[in-house]
Structure 1
Amino acid sequence: MLQELSITNFAIIEKLNLSLDQGLTVLTGETGAGKSIIIDAIQLLCGGRGSSEFVRHGEKKAELEGLFLLEDEHHPCYDQAKKVGIDIEDAQIVLRREISANGKSVCRVNGKLVTIAIMREIGTSLVDIHGQHEHQELMNAASHIRLLDQFGDDEIAQAKDNYLQIYKQYDETLKKIKQLSENEQQMAHRLDLIQFQLNEIQNANISLNEDDQLLEEKKRLMNFEKLFESVQIGYDALRSEGKGLDWVGLVMNQLETAAELDSEEYGSLLESVSNCFYLLEDVAHQLNHALEGLEFDPERLNFIESRLNEINQLKRKYGSSIEEIMEYAATIEEEIETLTNRESHIENLNRTLKSLRQDLFLEAKQLSELRKKWATKLTEAIHHELQQLYMDKTVFEVRFVVSATDLDEKRDPFQKDGVDILEFYISTNPGEPLKPLSKVASGGELSRMMLALKTIFSKHQGITSIIFDEVDTGVSGRVAQAIGEKIYQISIHSQVLCISHLPQVAALADSHLFISKTINEGRTTSSVDYLQAGDQIKEIARMISGVEMTDLTKQHAKELLQLASTMKQI
């Protein structure tokens, strides 16, 4: 849900901070007070198209920020954020957008700079804005198959997963066949190139960690004089006359005498010194051996330089490490074998493809049959919702343009979502033919149609917040009451923000925000008030009567609130 919204220097809004709750939040106020401006701000925050016109006159930039809480640990936002390296902690995501007076935008998600496209991808999974003239997802025919799959829940999800597993193998096999069936001249050029690369790697005869070992040896040779001097001084300090070992030996001899006189007091000390003496003597022996073996070999250094240069050349071409170079060599060796025996590989792949096609066709038929079953259930659910919205004459249909049952095994219509092509059709008047939902004119009937769909799909879409911008325009009376009840039902499953001019809708609000504008020192500013019980009655009475408010309209407002409260408890 959208928990906090901050708007600064946006249109006629100078500074506005909103704390929003779950359930239904209704925004009311006079026309032009700034209700839709708040929705515009949310839309821009979620990646909508912005311009310098949104910046408050005389200011350098407009600033928008929203804090969203992700209550579902499987929310698509997690995957979307992970793709672009954004961390989500404590199930919170913050969207921030700045629009400067010159029209430039700066977008951030959880503090990280992102493009408008990334912000839009994340934003649209958080908020769904539906206005009187905006069709959005439900009006997009391409999204209908996904909505039906969501309605079918686990049953369709399992069938789709079974299909998808085979489809991935099928698609990969098709790509391999296409690659091997390309122009013969291109294949010959490719074979020559990778054969040359493999020969170059094999002739180098590299081994794992060889470069690290050579670098260590190079370091020793380049610092030979300093190394020799250090070892020689260390050896002399131990073995030269009157140096370390002589003095430690003297201590040992004296402790031997002391231990003979008092072994209890000096025996352990003698043992410790004796151990040190023999350890140091062994170190001196090893240092002497090292000195004998130290020899500067300029030819060896030249060889190491040359070998490291050869390895670095291979790294520039085939990988950043010897391990990557060897992995690349193994990959192209396999490719060489495939290209050399291209015809037999194509034949094997075609046999595999034929088997996969048969399996995929069976899975596609199963998926198609399940979709048709759930399409019937969806049709029934839609008709039930439409009856409650006084559209009992409206006919809804999920029409399959193409399905697996219409195909034979020789065709290849397989796509990631199956073979089905479907679209939602409706007829709002008796005797009129069914038409695609995407082509139905907007208006009161369309608003009710959309609400019926939203009531059902809000349980399945996973959208954090749904915004209705005056979707109740053009209706009144019992239809207005029905629309209000539908919007409230949607708010049970998703946070809903609704701009409305209908008192029946406002009465159902869990939170009621009143938007007004004032003029101060010649500047217009919008402000928001959270209405409590008494003020809410006055605002609903204003919505009923207009300018003049009477005791009768106040009484009517109270009755609406009481009816709304009763409806919520059912």
Structure 2
Amino acid sequence: MLYSLHVKNLALIKEQEIEFSKGLNILTGETGAGKSVVIGSVNLALGAKADPSLIRTGEEYALVELVFGVENDLQRKMLEDLEIPVEEDGTLVIQRKVMQGRSVSKVSGETVTAKQLKDISNILINIHGQNDHQELLYKKKHIEILDNYCMDDLGGLFERLSGEYAKMKDLEKKLSETDIDENTRLRETELLEYEVKEISDAEPVIGEDEQLEVSYRKMVNGRKISEAANTALNLTGSGEMEESASDAVGRAVRELTSVASYDSEIEGLLSQISDVENLLADFNHALSGYIDSLEFDDEEFRTTEDRLNTLNHLKDKYGGSIEQVLKSLEEKEERLKAISDLDAHRDRLRKDYEDCLAGVKDLCKKISDVRRKGAQSLQEKLKDALIDLNFLDVQFEIKIDSSDDKITSKGYDEAQFMISTNPGEALRPLDQIASGGELSRIMLALKTVVADRDDISTLIFDEIDAGISGRTAWKVSQKLGELSANHQIICITHLPQIAAMADTHYMIEKGLDGGRTVTSIYALSEKLSEKELGRLLGGDELTEATLLNAREMKQMALDRKKQIKDMRNT
């Protein structure tokens, strides 16, 4: 669940922290108070596009921090698979700092990418914005919803189909490449023979170029290396210097030897300087041998240079490494063999393609069967959920069309939600008849049905009540109450029926601080919650009758929550 939201210097928020509770968290406030900033800040922390104009005027940065509690083993495992660290107590901190021209995202103190943030948010939270229900108007969204519902049964099939589909497309490409005329075949054969011979004659060996580069660099810089090595030898060993380091150390050894018998402490010092003398002698011997090895043969240099040029030419032409050159040789030999007997090669490819296509169709059929079975279950549950949301006489069906001509890596099905909201009316596509308020309720019904099948513990709804009122609003409130029994719900609303169901009620309001407008968010006590309900009920003044209505609404909500709890316990 989402433990807390901390926002600093974002839009009208100077600095604010909200601690959320389990169950149903309701946020209300006047229009323009900044309710959308709450959802916007959560989205921003989870990777939404960072607009520098959101930084509070006069400030250098904006900061959003979310603290989650990872409450089940599956979520923890999924995060571990993403190599995301979770604290021992199960907390996970997501922080995003937005500055002019850039932003930085961190999870538990480690910098992460936008892709990682998206993966993390898909595990922890589901956000339903004000316009998300419009996605239901697009048919491609329907198959996604159905697949999410059936994912436990589809996951392995999708993985197998993805591999077979990629194999089929590769065979399809190779088969199309065989569609060439005789002149083209002869030209390609001639070119391939030349390229195969060029690589084969060179006989490149993996790692050879690296060894040659070392040798060549040593040869090119031979004079510089020789001068430096001889100077070092003169300084440390016998040479042209009047007194080298070796001579000086030798004198030191002789001087200490002459007096060592007078003081035992000198014996220890003599032992140390003697070690230095021996190390220096070994060094001079090794350096002298290295200098002798610097004698390069001109022919050896030319041979090394020519070989290196040959290998670099092959790498430039056939790949950036010897490994790629050898891989290219293998591919060209295979292609040469194939087009030398094109008809037989084409026949083999066609058979492999047809066998693969048959396997792909078989997997598509299995996926389709799972979808059709899942569609029966989903449409029945959705119909029940829609009735609970005041669709009194609703018919709902998930229509699935399958076609071999529309095979993708996800199968060959198309799904479409069909609905009838009035008795005697035929089922029609959702986008042809559903209003904005109906779409909001259908989306809520979907969230309710799917929520019991996934492991996402936190759901956020931004004005799920759009376009509804009266009895329907109360039905939506009850459905949110049911959903909050097993999930943390954070909901922004302007309807008193929904606000009454709150387990924790928050107020969002604008005010002045030092002459500047600021948005503040705070939890309401029971009494203040009743007053806010009264305001939502619409009176210019809070009369006793309005407050009495608010109390009655709160009591109805409490009674309904008790019923929900009793039903779940039976």
Query: What range is the shorter-chain TM-score in?
Result: 0.7 to 0.9
- Secondary structure of the structure 2 residue equivalent to 1:135: helix
In 2, the alpha carbon distance for the partners of 1:112 and 1:187 equals: 54
Q: Indicate whether 1:17 and 2:13 are aligned.
A: no
In 2, the alpha carbon distance for the partners of 1:220 and 1:11 equals: 62
Q: Which residue of 1 aligns with 2:170?
A: 172
Q: Indicate whether 1:540 and 2:533 are aligned.
A: yes
Moved more, 442-451 or 557-566: 557-566
In 1, the alpha carbon distance for the partners of 2:373 and 2:516 equals: 60
Q: CA deviation at 1:228?
A: 9.4
Deviations 1:135-168 (A, max 9, x none): 2544432121122122224334344445444333
Deviations 1:464-484 (A, max 9, x none): 643222222444454333211
Equivalent residue runs for 1:197-216 within 5 Å:
197-215=195-213
In 2, the alpha carbon distance for the partners of 1:467 and 1:294 equals: 74
Q: Which residue of 1 aligns with 2:398?
A: 398
Q: Which residue of 1 aligns with 2:259?
A: none
In 2, the alpha carbon distance for the partners of 1:13 and 1:397 equals: 45
Q: CA deviation at 1:27?
A: 0.3
In 2, the alpha carbon distance for the partners of 1:124 and 1:289 equals: 65
Q: Indicate whether 1:140 and 2:138 are aligned.
A: yes
Q: Indicate whether 1:130 and 2:128 are aligned.
A: yes
Choose the corresponding residue for 2:499, options 506, 511, 514: 506
Q: CA deviation at 1:384?
A: 1.3
Deviations 1:413-472 (A, max 9, x none): 321121111111111122333222234443433332221111112344665643222222
Choose the corresponding residue for 2:440, options 442, 447, 452: 447
- Secondary structure of the structure 2 residue equivalent to 1:501: coil
In 2, the alpha carbon distance for the partners of 1:461 and 1:32 equals: 34
Q: Residues 228, 186 of structure 1: CA spacing in aligned structure 2 closer, same or farther, 3 A cutoff?
A: farther
Q: Which residue of 2 aligns with 1:428?
A: 421
Q: CA deviation at 1:215?
A: 4.7
Q: Which residue of 2 aligns with 1:40?
A: 40
AA in 2 matched with 1:569? K
- Secondary structure of the structure 1 residue equivalent to 2:426: coil
Q: Indicate whether 1:65 and 2:59 are aligned.
A: no
In 1, the alpha carbon distance for the partners of 2:232 and 2:521 equals: 80
**Contact 1:106/1:113 (<8 A) preserved:** no
Equivalent residue runs for 1:377-416 within 5 Å:
377-400=377-400, 402-403=401-402, 412-416=405-409
**Contact 1:77/1:122 (<8 A) preserved:** no
Give % identity. Answer: 30
Deviations 1:517-545 (A, max 9, x none): 11345432210112244433443344346
Moved more, 546-555 or 138-147: 546-555
Q: Residues 28, 295 of structure 1: CA spacing in aligned structure 2 closer, same or farther, 3 A cutoff?
A: closer
In 2, the alpha carbon distance for the partners of 1:355 and 1:492 equals: 51
AA in 2 matched with 1:67? L
Equivalent residue runs for 1:245-260 within 5 Å:
none
AA in 1 matched with 2:149? F
Q: Indicate whether 1:98 and 2:94 are aligned.
A: no
In 2, the alpha carbon distance for the partners of 1:62 and 1:440 equals: 46
In 2, the alpha carbon distance for the partners of 1:472 and 1:294 equals: 85
AA in 1 matched with 2:528? D
Q: CA deviation at 1:395?
A: 1.0
Q: Residues 232, 464 of structure 1: CA spacing in aligned structure 2 closer, same or farther, 3 A cutoff?
A: same
AA in 2 matched with 1:155? D
In 1, the alpha carbon distance for the partners of 2:238 and 2:470 equals: 108
Q: Which residue of 2 aligns with 1:331?
A: 331
TM-score by length of 2: 0.74
- Secondary structure of the structure 2 residue equivalent to 1:513: strand
**Contact 1:367/1:418 (<8 A) preserved:** yes
Q: Which residue of 1 aligns with 2:256?
A: none
Q: Residues 293, 363 of structure 1: CA spacing in aligned structure 2 closer, same or farther, 3 A cutoff?
A: closer
Q: Residues 443, 296 of structure 1: CA spacing in aligned structure 2 closer, same or farther, 3 A cutoff?
A: closer
Q: Which residue of 1 aligns with 2:355?
A: 355
Supply the RMSD in Å over aligned alpha carbons: 4.5
Q: Which residue of 1 aligns with 2:509?
A: 516
AA in 2 matched with 1:374? G
Q: CA deviation at 1:367?
A: 2.5
Q: Which residue of 2 aligns with 1:298?
A: 298
- Secondary structure of the structure 2 residue equivalent to 1:380: helix
Choose the corresponding residue for 2:559, options 558, 563, 566: 563
Q: CA deviation at 1:396?
A: 0.7
In 2, the alpha carbon distance for the partners of 1:33 and 1:290 equals: 80
Q: Residues 305, 357 of structure 1: CA spacing in aligned structure 2 closer, same or farther, 3 A cutoff?
A: closer
AA in 2 matched with 1:455? T
Q: Which residue of 1 aligns with 2:85?
A: 89
Q: CA deviation at 1:197?
A: 3.6
**Contact 2:29/2:507 (<8 A) preserved:** yes
In 2, the alpha carbon distance for the partners of 1:425 and 1:492 equals: 30
**Contact 1:46/1:127 (<8 A) preserved:** no
Q: CA deviation at 1:383?
A: 1.4
- Secondary structure of the structure 2 residue equivalent to 1:422: strand
- The count of corresponding residues between Structure 1 and Structure 2 is 514
Structure 2, unaligned runs of 5 or more:
240-245, 251-280
Moved more, 415-424 or 18-27: 18-27
Q: Residues 183, 418 of structure 1: CA spacing in aligned structure 2 closer, same or farther, 3 A cutoff?
A: farther
Moved more, 212-221 or 349-358: 212-221
In 2, the alpha carbon distance for the partners of 1:118 and 1:228 equals: 57
**Contact 1:516/1:526 (<8 A) preserved:** yes
Q: Indicate whether 1:376 and 2:381 are aligned.
A: no
Choose the corresponding residue for 1:472, options 465, 468, 480: 465
Choose the corresponding residue for 2:149, options 144, 148, 151: 151
Q: Residues 70, 4 of structure 1: CA spacing in aligned structure 2 closer, same or farther, 3 A cutoff?
A: closer
- Secondary structure of the structure 2 residue equivalent to 1:518: strand
Deviations 1:358-410 (A, max 9, x none): 3333332333233222211111111111222221301111012x22xxx5xxx
- Secondary structure of the structure 2 residue equivalent to 1:181: coil
Q: Indicate whether 1:496 and 2:494 are aligned.
A: no
In 1, the alpha carbon distance for the partners of 2:310 and 2:6 equals: 60
Q: CA deviation at 1:412?
A: 4.0
- Secondary structure of the structure 2 residue equivalent to 1:15: strand
- Secondary structure of the structure 1 residue equivalent to 2:519: strand
Structure 1, unaligned runs of 5 or more:
238-242, 248-279
Q: CA deviation at 1:224?
A: 6.4
AA in 2 matched with 1:387? I
Q: CA deviation at 1:515?
A: 0.9
Q: CA deviation at 1:114?
A: 5.9
**Contact 2:47/2:118 (<8 A) preserved:** yes
In 1, the alpha carbon distance for the partners of 2:177 and 2:472 equals: 60
In 2, the alpha carbon distance for the partners of 1:499 and 1:395 equals: 30
In 2, the alpha carbon distance for the partners of 1:288 and 1:60 equals: 67
Moved more, 211-220 or 23-32: 211-220
Q: Residues 209, 234 of structure 1: CA spacing in aligned structure 2 closer, same or farther, 3 A cutoff?
A: farther
In 1, the alpha carbon distance for the partners of 2:386 and 2:291 equals: 97
Moved more, 333-342 or 62-71: 62-71
